[in-house]
Amino acid sequence: MPRYVERPRQRGRTVLIVLTGIGVALGLVEVVVVAAGAEALEGARLAIIYALVPLPVLWFVYWWLDRYEPEPRRYKVAAFVWGGVGAVGIALAVQVLLGETTDLTQKELATFVAPASEEPAKGLFLLLTFLRWRRIIDGFLDGLIVAGLVGLGFAFVENIGYYALSYAGGPDVPIAGAEGAAGTFVVRGIASPFAHPLFLSAFGIALGLAVGIRSKVLKVLVGTLGLAISMALHGLWNGSASYFGGVGFALTYVALFVLFVTLAVVAIVARSRQVRTLERSLSYVAERGWIHPAEIPYLSRFGYRKQARRHARRHHGRVAGRIVRRYQRLATEMAFLHDAIMRGQTKPHGVERTYALLDAMYGLRPALRFPPPLPVAHRR
């Protein structure tokens, strides 16, 4: 089966994969060390289990948002690993250093130092990704997704630490053991699992918006504002209970929950707009004669896309199904890239990449086995 060769091929792919692999190895060691804070094997086991329980659901949310224009898996895994290893390591080093060299109280460290160290540490991955050809973060939704995955990685490791400490108990932990760990799980794993992704979302969205801004000064201002908002949200969350009491914490929780719901609605709307963008771009491409109009439903709507793959596998074998899947992915990437170019958005080597994707599609076409064309009424 012909393979698509990215042109020009983006450098650093192998380096990213190797570094991610190293990060995974370090992360496993980190998880064991952090879980050991429970001071008991049972506590360490509970801490890891509680941290893992919500992870599939949380990951599914970002996978669903990223479904139409999926980013490479290596970047998504790297984002999660950076949040859990790189960002945690940087933030922890800063907080330990300031805790040992200053007279700041635990409240001040949590309210001011933690947000000022953790959000930039998490955001470093987004910034480097943004600066590197801007082929991963190229809009509002991409920034939101990458920020969310980094936040999930950070929260995963941090939660293990909190669950372990709750199990071990101490002067500031009134309820210890399995009951204490379970209580902390309710607060962090059930009531506020999206806290860290929500904080960093402001910076991710800012970078996504900055892609469409031509002025470098304005790009920097938008990015800086986004990071400041991320730190402010984090500081408000951490400081609400310490400085405003139980009522203040409850009000802060409600306010951030409303913000989260609003952001979720906007993200769903943005995702639905991707369908219309994809159909519009494919229709224009069909008018140019690059694809057949009857292909559009099988390349745009998830139901019809699945139907096309099932038809190919059932009537022509597994290889035919894989060819249809690859053709759909190439067409999706080509359509979104073509739409961005037509709207005047700057895309590095955009035209060259568009033709390379079309060439890869043409290479698959002799073996392509789509179902019969749909009636015209069902093509939109």
Q: Any residues with CB less than 8 A from the CB of 188 and at least 6 apart, and which?
A: 155, 159, 162, 163, 195
The distance from CA 155 to its chain's CA centroid, rounded to whole angstroms, is 13
Q: What is the mean pLDDT of residues 298-320?
A: 93
Residue 340 structure tokens: 């961005």
Name the pTM for this structure: 0.90
At 14, the amino acid letter reads T
pLDDT tens-digit readout, 207-260: 999 988 888 899 999 999 999 999 999 999 999 978 888 888 899 999 999 999
Residue 327 structure tokens: 């053709």
Write down the pLDDT at residue 15.
81
Output Rg (C-alpha) for the chain, integer angstroms. Answer: 23
> Has residue 351 got a pLDDT over 70?
yes
DSSP of 59-121: HHHHHHHTSSSPPPHHHHHHHHHIIIIIIHHHHHHHHHHHHHHS---HHHIIIIIHHHHHHHH
Write down the pLDDT at residue 57.
94
pLDDT confidence bin for 4, thresholds 50/70/90: low
Q: Closest Cα to residue 336, out of 379, 275, 292?
A: 275
Backbone angles phi, psi at 170, to 5 degrees: 165, -175
Q: What is the mean pLDDT of residues 51-74?
A: 90
Write down the pLDDT at residue 9.
60
pLDDT tens-digit readout, 75-126: 899 999 999 999 999 999 999 999 999 999 989 999 999 999 999 999 999 9
The distance from CA 295 to its chain's CA centroid, rounded to whole angstroms, is 30
Q: Any residues with CB less than 8 A from the CB of 369 and at least 6 apart, and which?
A: 311, 312, 315, 316, 320, 323, 324
Residues 316-350 as b/e (b if ≥16 CB within 10 A, e otherwise) read: eeeebbbbbbbbbbbbbbbbbbbbbbeeeeebeee
